[in-house]
Amino acid sequence: MNKKLIAGMLGLGLLGTAGSALASDAHTRIIASTCLSCHGADGKSKSAMPSLAGIDKTYFVTQMKAFKSGQRPASVMHRHAPGYTDQEFEKMGEYFAAMK
Ligand code: HEC
């Protein structure tokens, strides 16, 4: 592979990152990346895990609060949700809702 091609591919990668950054900030992107290991790298799950890409923001925030409070029974999400604030839920909701 020649250097120009590699540089071009890197450029595309950076553009992709900048595109999703429009919906959110670096902090939210870092949090979201920890969720996507289970929920599909592009937010579209290929397993039993639900997809997050394009999720309704209000639905997302409601579910995260329910996991946090224990109101919604879960196998793993009740362990993830308590680490975040309501404000972070809002930001994450915007981020995932904007994912295509
Ligand atoms: C270890 C794998 C794993 C990780 C990491 C993970 N999730 Fe989940 N998620 C699940 C599973 C499994 C469910 C189904 C509910 C359950 O059993 O916990 C779920 C359910 C959900 C739901 C409900 C979706 C729906 O359609 O009702 C939301 C929202 C969600 N997760 C968001 C997140 C967010 C945000 C993060 C990162 C902070 C995250 N998840 C990290 C595995 C994971």
Q: Using a 6 Å cutoff on CB, does residue 60 contact ligand 1? A: yes
Span between the terminal Cα atoms of the chain, in Å = 30
Summarised one tens digit per residue, pLDDT across range 4-31 is: 655 555 555 544 544 444 445 899 999 9
Q: Using a 6 Å cutoff on CB, does residue 10 contact ligand 1? A: no
Q: Using a 6 Å cutoff on CB, does residue 63 contact ligand 1? A: yes
Summarised one tens digit per residue, pLDDT across range 39-52 is: 999 999 999 899 99
Summarised one tens digit per residue, pLDDT across range 43-87 is: 999 998 999 999 999 999 999 999 999 999 999 999 999 999 999
- Residue 74's pLDDT is 97
Give the CA distances from residue 43 to residues 4, 19, 26, 36, 90, in Å, rounded to whole numbers and listed in that order.
Answer: 30, 15, 17, 6, 17
From 30, 39, 55, 72, the mutation candidate for ligand 1 (largest count of ligand atoms within 8 A of CB) is 39
